[in-house]
Structure 1
Amino acid sequence: MPARRDLFKMGAASALAMVARLHAAGLKLPSTVVGPDQTTITREPFGDLAIYFSGPTGQVESMTAGSLRLKPGMSPHAPHEHPEEEFMVITEGAGEISVNGKVTNVTAGSMMYCAAGKLHGIVNTGKDPLMFYFYKWKA
């Protein structure tokens, strides 16, 4: 099994697959700082995805923190729901976030919270990339 530090060098899909193994082995995410040069960028048709942290912590069963630079006119996926709570912080660009069917225009400085099991989504409605950071966890 890879060391915890190796988790941060893996691509997004590989990092997410490691969550169950970390949890089963009783390993927790270490206290550390990760710079943008220490993540693996996954280039998707809709934009560039980076996962900074993914795994259990001392307080939660699972946690994922990352960023997405979303291309103009794009959405990473249709509105969806999942068992984790989630925050999104918009740092660049303009778009729309939907939460339970309510659509809100967002720009840099906007923040979303979505409870577990609630339908939500994001779309870039601007002419420039929309950058946001996301934090999901399950206690």
Structure 2
Amino acid sequence: MKKPLLYSTLTLTLMTLSAFVGWKGHEKFTDIESIIVSRTQANISHENWGDIVIYTPEDGTNTFGTKNTLTAVAEIKPGEQIHPPHQHTAEEFMYMLEGEGTWSLKGKESPAKAGDMMYAKPWDWHGLTNTGDKTLKFFVVKWDNKGVKPPKKP
């Protein structure tokens, strides 16, 4: 009676250990190294609202302290927006390079012009609309933090 219990315990222990060893060897994403990404190396996506030049894609770009890190330049056509105001677990900075528009932050709208910057903390509603007659360009950095549990959705 003792041998079957010993074999069962040993088998379960080995299975558990091999699962952890196997998982560690197949992590979905690893941290990126220090890099320079030229515009010609970036991924350009043409959308109905304009173009987005993605330097580091959100899905799969991790750094020493961040995960799901997006860096991009968006070029929005007059009268357009990428999407209506939205919210997510990530922190986000948006810096206006060119054009004019309207920021939306926590339900309040404000004028947006070149040189302005917006920060949205996790779960804050935010967005940007091009209200000008020329292309609006902005740089975005969006990320989730490693080792910091995201706040609960309010």
Say whether the fold is shared (TM-score over 0.5).
yes
Give the aligned length. Answer: 117
- Please tell me whether residue 118 in structure 1 is matched to residue 121 in structure 2: no
| 1:25, distance to aligned residue in structure 2 (A) | 3.8
Greater gyration radius: 2
| 1:117, distance to aligned residue in structure 2 (A) | 0.6
Query: 1:58 aligned to 64, 68, 77, which one?
Result: 64
> Which structure 2 segments of 5+ residues have no match?
1-25, 146-154
For 1:92 and 1:61, locate their aligned partners in 2 and report how far apart those are by CA, in whole Å.
28
| 1:26, distance to aligned residue in structure 2 (A) | 5.0
SS of the residue corresponding to residue 106 of structure 1 reads strand
Q: Partner letter of residue 48 of structure 2?
A: P
For 2:46 and 2:84, locate their aligned partners in 1 and report how far apart those are by CA, in whole Å.
18
For 2:138 and 2:45, locate their aligned partners in 1 and report how far apart those are by CA, in whole Å.
15
TM superposition score normalised by structure 1: 0.80
Query: 1:105 aligned to 111, 116, 120, which one?
Result: 111
4+ residue segments displaced more than 4 Å = none
SS of the residue corresponding to residue 37 of structure 1 reads coil
Q: Partner letter of residue 98 of structure 1?
A: S
> Which structure 1 segments of 5+ residues have no match?
1-22
- Please tell me whether residue 42 in structure 1 is matched to residue 55 in structure 2: no
TM superposition score normalised by structure 2: 0.73
Match of 2:7 in 1: none
